[in-house]
Amino acid sequence: MKQVIDEKEGWRAFPPFPLALVTIPGSPPNIITAALIHVFSFDPFLIGVGIAPSRYSYELLKAAKDFVVNIPTKELLDQVMFCGTKSGRDVNKFEKTRLTDIPAKEVEAPLISECPVNFECEITQTLETGDHYWFIGEVKVIHRDVNFSRENTLCYWAGEFRLPGPLIRRR
Ligand SMILES: Cc1cc2nc3c(=O)[nH]c(=O)nc-3n(C[C@H](O)[C@H](O)[C@H](O)COP(=O)(O)O)c2cc1C
């Protein structure tokens, strides 16, 4: 039996999304936790991040040419929560989380050293869709730790953090 539910409840019915820490150039650079993140194209390789206009990161992104999508592991959950609940308007998130910023190769936004994957993205398009504004970036450089395992990355939706879960089949 199925029930018809309204959109206030219905958005929760999505499976979890991948979770990222997005770094944005500024003085100091900022970090925002984002679950609204997706691959928008493989060729060119485009990644989009949905950011609400109330975020300090939105202000920074409007003035920025680039951002970096950093993929955190479960060991970074406290830092993920910090960057997802505190604003860069009030705190320096690199300083407070003790995450290490390292220079990117081709963009101004820094990489987070502790994240095993970093996508350097140059903003090519923006989309005003509704209560989130999509910043779409062309991936210029990808850094991946030699010991990277997808199993250790994080997913999030509707207030729940999860690991990706076991592999059940290959396509
Ligand atoms: C797990 C998690 C996921 C989040 N995903 C998003 C997102 O995709 N887009 C967004 O605008 N805010 C998202 N947020 C909220 C921002 O991270 C939060 O408002 C943050 O404090 C904004 O920081 P800023 O003001 O420095 O930009 C998320 C928060 C958490 C905890």
pLDDT digits (tens, 9 = 90+) for 80-112: 999 999 999 999 999 999 999 999 999 999 999
55, 61, 78: residue to mutate for ligand 1 pocket, most atoms within 8 A of CB:
55
Q: How far apart are the first and last CA of the chain?
A: 31
Atom of ligand 1 nearest to the CA of 132: 11
Task: Order across the sheet with 20-24: list the strands.
Answer: 30-34, 20-24, 66-71, 117-128, 133-144, 46-51, 37-41
Ligand 1 binding pocket, CB closer than 6 Å: 19, 30, 32-36, 50-52, 55-57, 81, 84-89, 132, 156
Q: Which fold has domain 21-158?
A: Pnp Oxidase; Chain A (2.30.110)
pLDDT digits (tens, 9 = 90+) for 6-55: 988 999 999 999 999 999 999 999 999 999 999 999 999 999 999 999 99
Please state the domain extents for the chain. Answer: 21-158
DSSP run (H or E) holding 32: strand 30-34
Residue with tokens 């990355």: 153
- Inter-residue contact 15 to 156 (CB < 8 Å): no
pTM higher than 0.95 = yes
SS3 134: strand
